[in-house]
A and B are shown apart, each in its own frame.
Chain A
């Protein structure tokens, strides 16, 4: 321990080591988080951020090293121990019961006796206190399922605080938020800090680190490669530290005049199995050599749009025309659309774009097994499939370069490259791209963006759906914003302003504002 007057760090990790089989997820990690600060942790996917936080929260036990909370050494063997030590965790996927009220969710598991009355009284009082202390106001009797995502996140934070959290760990908290919601979240985190709470913020968005944190640690390949004062660093430096080399954060875009319309959508409507309208009155034109970005918070009809355009979901109204030919019901079939040159990089590559237990060469033929290049007759030509992927692995720098490796064993970026290669190699006229860089490391993001720009140069019409506003803004020629299944606005790619787009994403259209 150092000088007596300096308070010990809220969290101190010393020499944490953790391996999964031969993979070392964390190696000799030292991390010290000062009390009453906001500490950011950045790193690519697979850099070991989540493993480290899982160790702190007691999901995993470290192979070596120690954890100190407020200077006291602590063996955190389970989340219960972590909670008792004052560590709270807000996961990317909320752990809430949608059917219950806010107050019920808050006291779930800490009801304090067989009767609910006393517990709910205590929780209610705590909620009032949080509202005055941190400006964390939330209706205690609202049903959680009816709250917006941003408010649900607040419930998660309240839950952690109610359990006595002094250290709050947030894992990619803004992934599901609109820009205004994210701003509100950071305001709340600052208020928590002012009241002496400590916040650990895990993110891969460098702007958030710059905007919200006091100090930042960069992880790469399981190690902490640097811990810096946020004020003394820059996004450029952080990105270079994350990847281990200089990266281009913004992609160069050559001016290009788009050609004729290749995809025309008119009054598209999708009603799901439960009778809920998911997509309504969607009309737009996509032209050759154009990237049309679809911005929006996840779950506002983008998936249904991609589904309807790729023949996976049957639209209940509207028309779709490809290269000037109106598609009838029979043509709106995934295989037929592929034949006609409409290819699709789906949003969820592990659920839809690939088959995780298949060897990679089989996943790389998904949707195209009927092609003559894989042999004729009922049997497929396995060597042809393997060679096909081996050649593309070279061109797309997929690692490891092993076509036989099980699909699930590749990293997110390499899986995405396998999907992209499969679709791009078929010379699309129209390419639908959903979340191309979700869960993909920075190096691969750069590569994928370049590929998309090259396709644009080659005259392909690209419909880009992404929840990453930054990505939409840097790639798109035009941007459509979706909210509640409708298009709430269109902006030119160059002139778009994130706050303006944010309002549209929240459903605030020009007339209403």
Chain B
């Protein structure tokens, strides 16, 4: 019998992932022990490296920014019953949109060019996701297949454009020239220095605040708005949506476009915040990890924030770990991430059953 197990919301989005995380670290600890390193020492370095210093925190939050955007993107599509695995491609296109605005308008004041560039990124990402949404709604082409295909298309398109059209002729690499200073998103260390705080230089920038606002916006959209109600209805039951007069086709296209716009936040962080020029493959797989983040966060914005923070710690702490202990390679850290995804995303039923027995429940009359 595989009946879904009803749990209170807070247990669903906080307790279950927490238990899964602990279990994942126990298993990962066994792996670390198996190669002759101390799991406790590894955990200590992981935590100290990610949260033990201002620099570590800066890097952790920078990574988390990417995961929040891609995690939210996957989560919004989830609510409509869609599995968007094209965040990579949508972010790639978002980067293109941002770069086009930044390259052509970076002489204008920051307050004009930066919002325009962000809007362009979102619009390009939305459009790139809208097409699979359209194909799903009107032609029944499965969104999982089309979004994967669109990832390849996006990669090829950006190679072509960077090599032949918008690339910097003075550079050997396929990349654009650097944007003018007006088109930069300010770094956290710049902002904090202006406030008199001295913080070491990290890639953390204003995008992190945008990511938090996006999480809040997604929460309001999904749980408080009429559109969110329609999205969740379509995701839960197409028949109920049709009965209610909600068009599943329209909602499918809309939800995909929203999802693509959120994925483009990854481009805002990387292209406008960190790199300040467009280059190839800046998405580096963050789009795929977003799937794990959304799964672990149960598609709830708060859960996505927490999961993003955890993966941010893993990325940053993991880098420190492989630096300090060469025996624990980056691949090893990837294994730990994989175990985490396995426990939190795929095997959470394992813990839900046990936890369900411990949580007091209101009886059904």
Contact = CB atoms under 8 A, between A and B. Distances in A.
A312 interface: yes
A353 B243 contact: yes
B245 interface: yes
B239 A351 contact: yes
Contacts of A410: 364
A344 B242 CA distance: 13
B116 interface: no
Contact of A380 (B1, B224, B236, B244): B224
A408 B363 CA distance: 13
B226 A400 contact: no
A35 B365 CA distance: 36
A405 interface: yes
B232 interface: yes
B236 A402 contact: no
Contacts of A362: 229
Nearest to B1: A59
B233 A355 contact: yes
Interface in B203-231: 220, 224-227, 229-230
B243 A367 contact: yes
B357 interface: yes
B361 interface: yes
B244 A334 contact: yes
A438 B123 CA distance: 48
Interface in A303-334: 310-312, 333-334
B240 interface: yes
B363 A346 contact: no
A379 B357 contact: no
B243 A369 contact: no
Interface size class of A (residues with CB under 8 A): 35 or more
Contacts of A358: 232-233, 236
Among B6, B225, B230, B243, residue most surrounded by chain A Cβ atoms (within 10 Å) = B243
A23 B240 contact: no
Contact of B243 (A352, A379, A382, A402): A352
B225 A353 contact: no
A213 to B, nearest CB: 30
Contacts of B357: 21
A338 B245 contact: yes
A355 B237 contact: yes
Contact of A344 (B226, B239, B243): B243
B11 interface: no
Interface residues of B, number: 27
B362 A367 contact: no
A354 B227 CA distance: 17
B220 A405 contact: no
A417 B239 CA distance: 20
Interface in B349-365: 356-357, 360-365
Among B225, B226, B233, B245, residue most surrounded by chain A Cβ atoms (within 10 Å) = B245
Contact of B237 (A352, A367, A378): A352
Interface string A392-418: 000000011010011011110010000
Interface string A172-205: 0000000000000000000000000000000000
A379 B363 contact: no
A357 interface: yes
Contacts of B360: 22
B6 A22 contact: no
Contact of A352 (B225, B240, B362): B240
Contacts of B361: 21-22
A336 B244 CA distance: 10
A353 B224 CA distance: 21
Contacts of A335: 244-245
Contacts of B244: 334-335, 366-367, 369
Given A312-B243, A344-B243, A370 B226 contact: yes
Nearest to A363: B240
A300 to B, nearest CB: 20
B226 A369 contact: yes
A333 B236 contact: no
A409 B240 contact: no
A336 B240 CA distance: 16
Nearest to A20: B3
Contacts of A311: 245
A79 interface: no
B6 A379 contact: no
Given A378-B225, A378-B226, A380-B229, A355 B362 contact: no
B227 to A, nearest CB: 7
Given A379-B220, A408-B6, A409-B6, A366 B240 contact: yes
Contacts of B232: 355, 358
Contact of A402 (B225, B230, B362): B362
B245 A334 contact: yes
B214 to A, nearest CB: 17
A366 B243 contact: yes
A428 to B, nearest CB: 15
Contacts of A312: 242-243
Contacts of B362: 400, 402, 405, 409
Given A312-B243, A355-B240, A356-B237, A411 B365 contact: yes
A289 to B, nearest CB: 26
Contacts of A379: 220, 224-226
A387 to B, nearest CB: 16
Interface string A362-391: 100111011000000011101000000000
B81 to A, nearest CB: 12
A237 interface: no
Contacts of B1: 59
A187 to B, nearest CB: 35
A399 B240 contact: no
A400 B357 CA distance: 22
B310 to A, nearest CB: 26
Contacts of A497: none
Interface in B144-178: none
Nearest to B363: A22
A348 interface: yes
The 3 residue pairs across chains A and B that have the minimum distance between CB atoms: A335-B245, A334-B245, A367-B244
7 contacts: A22-B363, A344-B243, A365-B229, A366-B240, A369-B229, A379-B225, A414-B365
Given A334-B244, A353-B240, A409-B364, 9 more contacts: A22-B360, A23-B363, A311-B245, A346-B243, A357-B236, A358-B232, A362-B229, A367-B244, A414-B365
